[in-house]
């Protein structure tokens, strides 16, 4: 069994992210077998507290510890494992789960990967609002196609992975695995108004606003969740990243100039191109070449939907979103 004990904050000011009380200390020591980790508060919700781990070279350095407190049934860990098993690539990886002893309590807990919370990432000057919102929406829709509905679509429940290639789900919430895939109409009533609320709150300029309107119209006009995913993923594969290259290069150049040293390659040039995988109409994920081949060889789909015309229409509509001037969010 793991154990958690309070440790001094050593003068560091740690501020809880929400108004409700935190049921665990803000700075702790986590003991796993013969290894100890410093566990520093990162955030909390109604039933869980999240800590960032530091073990001076330990296996789980930089990872996240999530603790359910007080102890009660919570489907989040099982939901995340279900999504991971389907290889739908929308949530952080869970490395291990167990029980944690704190004082006289035994609490369910797990260790998962870290991704920078989306609400924090969006404050960066190089963050591309449209790419982040597109990737976030794709996460929600992919999870729904896997019979999982995100309970709270606030930006704090999503994160950007370390290479900034995509958004992932940090917290699925309490809804758990659904008995069947929701229809687009049902899913829309469950998340859409809140998705728009958070997206509009992080808009920085008129261009962000215009692109958000376009994104909203793409979702609104899709006749099903899979149709929306097809449109979004065709657009996403043209530039699968969450940052604005121009802003990032400018930030890197300024940092290099101020240091007075030799100019280093920009962070953008250091980033590897991530694997591009998209969901086809059969709800399976394919690399780009396989994705196109699936549609080329699927006679039933071609006869019913005239794929070539759909593909060209979607590409011309989504890749050059600035050419559209929609008037409302729908």
Contact 44, 50 (CB under 8 A): yes
Last residue of a domain, one of 45, 78, 112: 112
Say if residue 189 is in the same domain as residue 208: yes
**Quick one: pLDDT at residue 141?**
95
Residue pLDDT, tens place only, 184-198:
999 999 999 999 999
Whose CA is closest to 270, among 287, 242, 249?
Answer: 249
Q: Which of 286, 271, 196, 300 is closest to 233 using CA atoms?
A: 286
For residue 259, tell me if it sits in a domain.
Answer: no
pLDDT, tens only, 124-159? 999 999 999 999 999 999 999 988 999 899 999 999
Tell which wins on pLDDT, 176 or 292: 176
If you average pLDDT over residues 309-324, what whole number do you get?
49
Distance CA(236)–CA(149), nearest Å, equals 22
Q: Of 112, 137, 161, which residue sits at a domain end?
A: 112
Q: Model confidence at 330, in pLDDT bands (50, 70, 90)?
A: very low
Within a domain: 10 = no
Whole-angstrom distance, CA of residue 164 vs CA of residue 143: 20
pLDDT at residue 272, rounded to an integer: 37
| pLDDT tens, residue by residue, 203-260 | 989 999 999 999 999 999 999 999 999 999 988 988 889 998 665 555 555 555 555 5
**Statement to judge: residues 167 and 292 lie in one domain:** yes
- Does the pTM surpass 0.85? The reply is no
Q: What DSSP string describes 76-106?
A: HHHHHHHHHHTT---BPPEEEEEEEEETTEE
In terms of domains, do 146 and 51 share one?
A: no
Percent of the chain with pLDDT over 70: 70
Question: In angstroms, rounded to a whole number, what is the distance separating the alpha carbons of residues 3 and 33?
Answer: 9
- CATH number, domain at 104? 3.30.200.20
3-class secondary structure, 237? coil
Q: How many CB atoms lie within 10 A of CB 67?
A: 25
pLDDT band at 8 (very low <50, low <70, confident <90, very high): confident
Asked if 104 and 129 sit in the same domain, the reply is no
pLDDT: is 30 or 175 the higher one? 30
Tally of structural domains, the chain: 2
Q: Which residue has the higher pLDDT, 247 or 325?
A: 247
State residue 48's pLDDT score: 86
pLDDT band for position 324 (cuts 50, 70, 90)? very low
Residues 195 and 220 in one domain: yes
Q: Tell me, yes or no, whether 106 and 221 share the same domain.
A: no
Q: Express each pLDDT in 250-291 by its tens digit.
A: 555 555 555 555 544 444 333 333 445 565 555 566 666 676
Confidence at residue 1, expressed as pLDDT on a 0 to 100 scale: 82
Residue 276 φ then ψ, to 5° = -105, 110
Q: Are residues 200 and 288 in the same domain?
A: yes
Is 206 strand, coil or helix?
Answer: helix
CB atoms within 10 A of CB 271: 15
Q: Is residue 266 part of a domain?
A: no
DSSP string, 10-38: TT-----SSSSPPSS-SEEEEEETTEEEE
| Averaged confidence pLDDT in the chain | 79
pLDDT value of residue 115 = 94
pLDDT for 46 equals 78
Residue 84 is predicted with a pLDDT of 82
Place of tokens 């829309």: 188
Could you tell me where the DSSP H helices lie in 202-320? 206-221, 225-236, 245-259, 267-270, 288-297, 299-305, 307-319
142 with 165, same domain?
Answer: yes
Residue 9 domain-assigned?
no
| 127 and 91 inside one domain | no
The pLDDT of residue 275:
44
> Which residues constitute the domain of residue 53?
31-112
Q: Which two tokens stand for residue 125?
A: 């000057």
104 and 120 both lie in a single domain: no
Whether 38 and 128 share a structural domain = no
**Residue 316 clears pLDDT 60, i.e. is over it:** no
User: Do 105 and 132 share a domain, yes or no?
Assistant: no
Last residue of a domain, one of 89, 112, 135: 112
């Amino acid at each position: 069994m793991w154990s958690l004990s309070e440790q001094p904050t050593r003068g560091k000011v740690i501020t809880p992210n929400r108004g409700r009380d935190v049921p665990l200390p803000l700075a702790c020591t986590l003991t796993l077998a013969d290894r100890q980790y410093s566990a520093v508060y990162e955030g909390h919700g109604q039933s869980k507290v999240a800590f960032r781990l530091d073990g001076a070279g330990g296996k789980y350095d930089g990872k996240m510890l999530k603790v359910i407190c007080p102890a009660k049934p919570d489907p989040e860990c099982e939901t995340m494992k279900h999504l991971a098993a389907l290889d739908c690539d929308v949530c952080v990886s869970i490395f291990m789960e167990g029980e944690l002893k704190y004082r006289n309590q035994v609490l369910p807990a797990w260790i998962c990967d870290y991704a920078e919370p989306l609400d924090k990432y969006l404050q960066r000057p190089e963050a591309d609002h449209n790419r982040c919102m597109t990737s976030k929406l794709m996460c929600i829709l992919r999870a729904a196609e896997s019979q999982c509905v995100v309970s709270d679509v606030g930006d704090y429940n999503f994160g950007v992975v370390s290479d900034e290639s995509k958004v992932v789900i940090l917290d699925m919430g309490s809804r758990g695995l659904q008995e069947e895939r929701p229809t687009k109409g049902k899913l829309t009533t469950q998340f859409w108004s809140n998705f728009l609320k958070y997206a509009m709150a992080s808009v920085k300029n008129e261009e962000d606003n215009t692109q958000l309107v376009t994104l909203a119209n793409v979702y609104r006009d899709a006749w099903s969740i899979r149709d929306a995913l097809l449109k979004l993923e065709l657009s996403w594969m043209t530039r699968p990243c969450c940052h604005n290259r121009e802003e990032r290069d400018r930030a890197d150049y300024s940092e290099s100039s101020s240091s007075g040293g030799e100019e280093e390659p920009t962070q953008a040039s250091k980033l590897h191109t991530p694997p591009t995988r998209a969901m086809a109409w059969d709800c399976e994920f394919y690399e780009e070449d396989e994705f196109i081949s699936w549609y080329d060889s699927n006679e039933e789909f071609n006869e019913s939907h005239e794929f070539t015309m759909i593909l060209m229409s979607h590409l011309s509509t989504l890749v050059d979103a600035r050419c559209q001037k929609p008037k409302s969010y729908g």
